[in-house]
Structure 1
Amino acid sequence: MKSKASLLEKPQLLIFDVNETLLDLSPVKSRVNELRGDAHAFKEWFSLLLHYSCVESLTGNYREFGSIGKATLKMVFQEYQKDIQEKEIEEVLGLMGTLPAHKEVPEALELFRHAGYTLVALSNGSLDLVQKQLDHAGLSPFFERIFSVDVTGKYKPDPATYKHVLDQMQIQANKGMLLAAHAWDILGAQRVGMQTAFVSRPGKVLYPEAPLPEYSGNSLVQIAVQME
């Protein structure tokens, strides 16, 4: 679906979220659900992980994403009086570094690059992890730069993190676009004046109280075709 994009200047810089937007979290989802014996365990954990990353930022603190992931994974099991072993936690976190790309992603990134856009990646994960993830998935060559919240110590959707990327790339906010599968990430980028594109992966929906993104589609290829 295309909304108001035709009224705006074509963006120059495309900023891609990583987990779920580019990379498929299914291997992690399956393992967490298996370990707790509950089809909803992964969703609860990932929501809690995002929740406490925001808590850390709001209270002026910073802990590495993997550390918060470990702590919140324990919480999700403790809530149901279930045990999770340290080696199982390390297994789950290790899977984060070996995620596959969603099938259409390489084609989409090539379309974006061919259309003349500058591509960068931005993740709440540590820079080492994000680099490992994109290398493993074969996506690193598509990106001019890879960014992490490590530098700002502020997790998305904190404005400081988006602004840092824009400043580093020397791009005005309205000429930058965030592409993400998370409504909270889309809203964060909108609040600093960026354009946005929403990838409606299965189970992902927009926040009704936020403005519509400039573009949306069921896959990155759909969005790339609209933006050619």
Structure 2
Amino acid sequence: MRARPDVVAFDVNETLLDLAPVRATLVELGEPAELLPTVFGRTLLLGIAGQAAGTWCRFRAAFETALAQLTELSAAERGTVADAFLELSPHPDVEPALRRLTAAGVRAVTLTHGSPGVAEAGLSRGGVTPLVERCLTTESIRTWKPDRAAYLWAAGVCDVPPERMALVAVHSWDVHGAQQAGLTGGWAARAEGSWAEVHPAPHVQGSTLVEVVDGLLDLPA
């Protein structure tokens, strides 16, 4: 039985923030729009595989490396695409989800292995900065999710035990990692459509962030 969390941590890229500006920049540079999921997936592969092997790199370095592997873009052009992460805006379901948490007295934070400043810029652009207590990036401890250290570090920073924190994401692997670390997992189907059945089921799920937040708030105190 899971308990209602005291803190809800949200993944950033794709969960809170729409990657449309990154896609648009790729198109402006002559690349197909449908390339973005492949580049983003290769970025995660590079970072997480390196983590598993005992090395570490920054998200931006992994992203630009993925672009170098998958495109003929110059170094300057790859940097331009990476810069577009600072132009992201929240998805439509973000503000109402955050407002539900605020009204219920539950703290909200962000947790990413992405570049510092991306979450802050996107939240500011969406006018929802006051609804988020703090923005955390695991670059601070040189690790990538789903390493359990990432989730335990976030719980420690927020001064709550893991079982009193939830992680909300649109990526099955991220929610699975959080649950393995002892957090409550909340998965929204907006990006993947269906849960990755190779992992145990999420504690809470819904089609949108609002539905997931409602499910977390419905857990017993």
TM-score, with structure 1 as normaliser: 0.87
- Which residue of 94, 114, 117 corresponds with 2:106? 117
- Which residue of 190, 210, 218 corresponds with 2:179? 190
TM-superposed deviation, 1:200: 0.9
CA distance in 2, matches of 1:144, 1:199: 21
TM-superposed deviation, 1:206: 1.6
Counterpart in the other structure of 2:26 = 32
1:213 equivalent to 2:182? Answer no
1:105 equivalent to 2:94? Answer yes
- Partner deviation per Cα, 1:178-203 (whole Å, 9 max, x = no partner): 00000110111011111111111144
| Structure 2 residues without counterparts, runs of 5 or longer | none
Counterpart contact for 2:14–2:191, Cα < 8 Å: no
CA distance in 1, matches of 2:118, 2:170: 19
Counterpart in the other structure of 1:80 = none
1:47 equivalent to 2:41? Answer yes
TM-superposed deviation, 1:8: 2.4
What are the residue-to-residue correspondences of 1:28-177 with 2, within 5 Å? Answer: 28-32=22-26, 35=29, 37-77=31-71, 83-177=72-166
CA distance in 2, matches of 1:106, 1:29: 23
Counterpart contact for 2:10–2:111, Cα < 8 Å: yes
CA distance in 1, matches of 2:170, 2:42: 17
CA distance in 2, matches of 1:26, 1:19: 11
Counterpart in the other structure of 1:14 = 8
For 2:136, the aligned partner's letter is F
CA distance in 2, matches of 1:84, 1:32: 9
Counterpart in the other structure of 1:200 = 189
Aligned length: 217
For 2:199, the aligned partner's letter is A
Counterpart contact for 1:57–1:153, Cα < 8 Å: no
TM-superposed deviation, 1:177: 0.6
Provide the secondary structure at the position in 1 that maps to 2:143: coil
